[in-house]
Structure 1
Amino acid sequence: MIKFEMLDDGDEWNRVVRASPYGTVFHTFEWMDVLEQQYKVQKIPLGIFENGDLIGVFPAFLQRKGIFNILVSPLHEAATPYAGPVVGNNKLSDVIRAFDIYSECADYYDITFSPGYVYDDNVLENLDFQERYTYILNLDQSIDIIWKNLNKKCRNAIRKAKKSDVTIVEGNSQRDLEDFWEMIEVTFQKWDTESPISVDYTRAVYDAFSQNEQFKMIFAERDGERIGGAIFLCFADKIYYWQGASYPDYYRYAPNNLIQWHIIQWAVQNGFRIYDMLGANIPSIAKFKSSFGGDLVSYSYLYKSHSSLADAGRGAYVWWRKNVKRDLYR
């Protein structure tokens, strides 16, 4: 029988996450701590136990939205694409059923799983369900093969960047983070919206992960000016494209293509096996990501309201994020 118990041992928690093919940087104890501190929500680090044995972990957050208590995994407004349980696939359906009962303390809950899970369709009978997508590049192959699998236009853009004397430099300081944030603000001005995350939150992620070399900041420069940048997160044998930005006046030099090619080369050289580009749900962004030859992979989003009032509240909130806030991370 599946049971949930609070698990506050960060080392034990991360051991489970690191050992699982479904564990991501967004499941780590440090990520939960950052979200709790920055967003003033209550983290709920659930250990998953069966017959007294720890078989997985489940990061969740309890937050207040208006009159509703909601239980979420992950915290969506924090540019956190995945969470949900980290458990063997053969136990996933039982864990979902147990969480459905556990969540009765809240008006509503949702879960966004990491890619790769498959579960019993019977689990979905009383739940709402959506498929979402990301591009994942297999790095466990030679760099020559990866280069050949790039879209032709992508290869030409990388060549153009090099011929235009665009170079790559790494950032490793708070000052570099400020430079990147200036690019973020300009990028979102282009979209006529604001970034859904704050500079303080980005600093907190940097502080939590840079010391363990899990936070990698890359810039493209031309004539001594930084014209594009990106942040990547590293965990176990996976690397994630978390944030990217560039100045519109320099798009013609293809800085973003060169940054992506640089991180792919670096990741292969350093033994990473999986590059998750985090999202293929916005057509214009998905087109860029698809050009690097990754596979289009689905992942699942489940949600349930425990009352008709909560269901109406969720509908209103989703409409607001899409039409008013214009959320680019949905």
Structure 2
Amino acid sequence: MGEVKNEYTSFVDNFSSATPFHTYEWLSALENLGNKCEVAMFYENSDLVGVCPLFVKKVSLMKIYFSPIFGTETAYLGVLGSNLSGMLKELKKNMKNFFVIQPPALKIAGKDFEIENKDTIIANLDAKNSEEHLKRVRKGHRYDTRKAEKEGVSIKEDYSEKAIKQYYSLLKQTYEKSHYAPLPEKFYLDAIRNLRESGKLKLLLASYRGEVIGGAAFPYSNGVLYYWTGGSRKEKEFASLYPNNLIQWEIIKWGYEKGIGKYDMLGASIEGIKQFKLGWGGQLQGYQRIYSSKRLRLMASLYSKLGAGVKEKIRKSVRK
């Protein structure tokens, strides 16, 4: 997407509902994995009025334009602009088969597409201050956070290569339980460095007696903070220290310090994780997955019913 970088970046930087996942920094990290990004650019009277990053893949002999490709740790992409339905109709006319995930603030209505409504969890950071927000946090979370502090767990920022590789090791341990593999290490090195350099990401690591036992990455832009990915050591002696709780509390406090208005914790499909996220003062909020046809939605429905091992094989084949 190098040929449209400047025009695309200018539009995204000035569009209030754009996410960190729309940024050139994020998309270039995906491209470095071998996923070529094309950008649909929408104009009115020579003025750029909308954009949509797209990754084309062949699935079951179908050429499908993904925004984003599933299995690439990209929570949202889709169309940015004021006339969403009109731009999606243009995509359907010119590309035929597409699948997009729109940010919560950018929804459409109508019968021209297949719309799947999903939920994320968003905590509004609108209390008087973080201590007032703490009253919204579930009692068990507050207790576990205090325990982590009392036991000597500490939180630090670190963007060194060593720190990112430690973080990646935590992700592998955490994902392994779900038979899911993270993307190659290079992606996390690129994405974290790129977004950090542009002031759009926080990486927090939890340490105990000199050992890193937990970590999480938080992209942010346009007044919204995102809980992207996180991992922790699974040994009982470390899990009982609740490093993830302390990380969550530290990022919420930081959000208040920086005047960030919303904390999108990304995803509510797994019940245990959903309850953990709701416990930080969050509420369910809808977002849309939009398919160009019933056939594509049916394919997605069938995919969702597959076992974890089969899903991972499909993810690997699609994101190559």
Q: What is the TM-score with the length of structure 1 in the denominator? A: 0.86
8 Å CA contact 2:119, 2:286 repeated in 1:
yes
Aligned residues: 311
- Residue 298 of structure 1 deviates from its aligned partner by 0.7
1:98 match:
90
Indicate if the aligned counterparts of 1:218 and 1:231 stay in contact, CA closer than 8 A.
yes
Task: Supply the distance in 1 between the matched residues of 2:9 and 2:283 (Cα, whole angstroms).
Answer: 27
1:64-143 matches, cutoff 5 A: 64-65=58-59, 67-88=61-82, 91-104=83-96, 108-123=97-112, 127-141=113-127, 142-143=129-130
Unaligned runs of at least 5 residues, structure 2: 316-320
**1:31 offset after TM fit, Å?**
1.9
Show the 5 A alignment for 1:4-83: 8-38=3-33, 40-65=34-59, 67-83=61-77
State the Cα RMSD in Å.
2.5
Superimposed CA distance per residue, residues 50-98 of structure 1 (whole angstroms, 9 cap, x where no aligned partner): 233211211111123353321111122211011111112xx12222222
Cα distance in 1 for partners of 2:221, 2:297 equals: 36
Identical-residue share of aligned pairs (%):
29
Q: What TM-score results when the alignment is normalised by the length of structure 2?
A: 0.88
| Bigger Cα displacement from structure 2, 178-187 vs 65-74 | 65-74
Stretch moving more, 132-141 or 279-288: 132-141
Structure 1 residue 153, shift from structure 2 partner: 1.2
Gaps of 5+ in 1: 1-5
CA change 1:313–1:155 in 2 (3 A) is closer
**1:218: which partner in 2?**
204
| Greater relative contact order (CA < 8 Å, ≥ 6 in sequence) | 2
Q: Which residue of 2 aligns with 1:253?
A: 241
* Equivalent position amino acid for 1:92 in 2: L
Q: Which amino acid aligns with 1:163?
A: K
Moved more, 311-320 or 265-274: 311-320
Q: Deviations over 1:123-152 (max 9, x none)?
A: 3xxx32211111112224321221111111
1:184 is aligned to 171
Q: 1:118 to 1:231 in 2, by over 3 A?
A: closer
- Measure the CA separation in 2 of the matches of 1:283 and 1:326: 21
Q: Distance in 2 between matches of 1:120 and 1:245?
A: 37
Q: Deviations over 1:26-64 (max 9, x none)?
A: 1112222222221x2331112221233211211111123
Change (3 A) 1:98 1:267: same
| Counterpart residue identity of residue 79, structure 2 | P
Displacement after TM superposition at 1:269 (Å): 0.8
Change (3 A) 1:85 1:313: closer
Moved more, 181-190 or 240-249: 181-190
Looking at structure 1, the residues matched to 218 and 50 of structure 2 have their Cα atoms a distance apart, in angstroms, of 26
Answer yes or no: is the 8 Å Cα contact 1:42–1:61 preserved in 2: yes
